[in-house]
Structure 1
Amino acid sequence: MARRTQEQRKSETRSRLIDAAAELFAAKGFHAVSAEAVADAAGRTTGALYSHFGGKEGLLLALLEVWKDRTAAHLAPGLAADPDPQAHAAAMWRSITRPAGDRGDSWLLLELELWLHGARDAQAGSPLARRYAEIRRELGEGLADWAAATGTVLPRPPEETGALVLGVLLGCALQHRLDPAAVPERLVVEAVSGVLGAHSVRPEGPEGPENK
């Protein structure tokens, strides 16, 4: 029982540090927030933060992995049962642009914080590059599995497909963050469907009501 209690405490400490970092990093920026500030907000010691994550960089990577895992778990059941590529594209887009109360807004800002940190710091850039490589691989494998299950032929190798889909989603999300009306879901769905070789058909042709 004592061992179980200790593991529960470790898990709670980890969760509290991740939650505190998510709020602070997204609101103030990675470099503007100290390890001490995160620990204080979580009601834990700085030593606990370093023990669990090795520092702020490790904490940022960890909380983004939590986001990725939660998003994948949320998307998987519906996508596995739906052969429509447009439904896949819409679901992925909504996972990135979820309301701020659901942390969709915060996660995008955190992703940018991590990218900026990695782009400016060569030492941090290597694990970041590996992280993106893993995301491209996992996304490509998921799309390849979907294609095999639905009899769809992807026009590109899985990892290249993953790279393009990720690029469309993140690039559109950046624009959407500042001007949502300029990047409607329809546009993103069409772009991702195009990458998958399945262009959507617009009602009433190019001048249909949703394009006016």
Structure 2
Amino acid sequence: MADEAPGRVTRRRVRTRARLLDGAFAVFAAKGFGRVSIEEVCEAAGYSRGAFYSNFATLDELFFALYRERADLIAGQVADALAQDGPGLDVPAAVDRVTEVLLLDVDWLLVKTDFLVHAARDPEVARTLLDHRVRLRGAIADRLARAQGHPEPSTALGDVDGAARAVVAAYDGVTTQLLLDKDVDAARAWLKQLLTALLTTAATDPRRGTEER
């Protein structure tokens, strides 16, 4: 496919960028960041190096953009899954929806883990990863607060922010095992148990955590 010429319509440029990101996602998941060349990304996307360099300066920049795009998508899906019950929170139904969103894509887990290792060695990348985790926790905490009808309710985990942190931590732990054994059904079942316990605690009477101390 021909390179993208400078000044071509924005819609085509957006499409080119999207295909490069999709191609990169496939090869990063298959081979791992650090083992992939620009040529491999271009081949997977159906473009040449010229198209690549009209959108990204380096492979690191592409990887950075890819992670942000996918991470924002996942955060939005989790927020949507938690928002479907109206004013209340149907914990079993919400947990089912969240675990479907979070566990179906093992390729995403591989790319996310690569990004975590990369971020551990690069402070700027680490800030992006931390920003994403803050947004994800914020979406969960906001939903839990609205379900209880109180802006900052107390729970056995401290407050809804503590509950949200526990939800993300549970996901991190379960998915580490999933990457090793590839048993999606077992991972989903275990995550459902953990999230049900956490969200049930977070959705109880706000006064309960204070009274039982």
**CA shift digits 1:78-102 (9 cap, x unpaired):** 421321234333322221221xxxx
Who is 2:127 aligned against? 130
For residue 72 of structure 1, report the CA deviation from its aligned partner.
3.7
Who is 1:35 aligned against? 38
Q: TM-score, normalised by structure 1?
A: 0.74
Residues 140, 30 of structure 1: alpha-carbon distance in 2 compared, 3 angstrom cutoff = closer
State how 1:184-203 maps to structure 2 within 5 Å. Answer: 184-196=187-199, 198=201
Rounded to whole Å, the distance in 2 between the matches of 1:182 and 1:140 is: 25
For residue 23 of structure 1, report the CA deviation from its aligned partner.
0.8
**CA shift digits 1:23-65 (9 cap, x unpaired):** 1111111111111221232222324324423311221222222
* Structure number having the greater helix percentage: 1
State how 1:100-179 maps to structure 2 within 5 Å. Answer: 104-119=105-120, 122=121, 125-151=122-148, 153=153, 154=155, 155-157=157-159, 159-177=161-179, 178-179=181-182
- 3-state SS of paired residue (1:53): coil
How large is the RMSD of aligned CA atoms in angstroms? Answer: 2.9
Give the aligned residue type for 1:13: T
Rounded to whole Å, the distance in 1 between the matches of 2:80 and 2:49 is: 38
Q: TM-score, normalised by structure 2?
A: 0.74
For residue 19 of structure 1, report the CA deviation from its aligned partner.
1.0
- 3-state SS of paired residue (1:183): helix
Rounded to whole Å, the distance in 2 between the matches of 1:185 and 1:70 is: 20
Q: Percent identity between the aligned chains? A: 28
- 3-state SS of paired residue (2:34): coil
Residues 13, 130 of structure 1: alpha-carbon distance in 2 compared, 3 angstrom cutoff = same
Who is 1:204 aligned against? none
Give the aligned residue type for 1:144: A
Who is 2:61 aligned against? 58
Residues 181, 139 of structure 1: alpha-carbon distance in 2 compared, 3 angstrom cutoff = closer
Rounded to whole Å, the distance in 1 between the matches of 2:9 and 2:44 is: 22
For residue 116 of structure 1, report the CA deviation from its aligned partner.
2.3
Rounded to whole Å, the distance in 2 between the matches of 1:50 and 1:164 is: 41
Tell whether 2:91 aligns with 1:85: yes
Do the aligned partners of 2:103 and 2:184 also contact (CA within 8 Å) in 1?
Answer: no
- Structure 2's unaligned 5+ residue stretches are 1-6, 204-213
Which is worse superposed, 82-91 or 177-186? 177-186
Rounded to whole Å, the distance in 2 between the matches of 1:164 and 1:148 is: 15
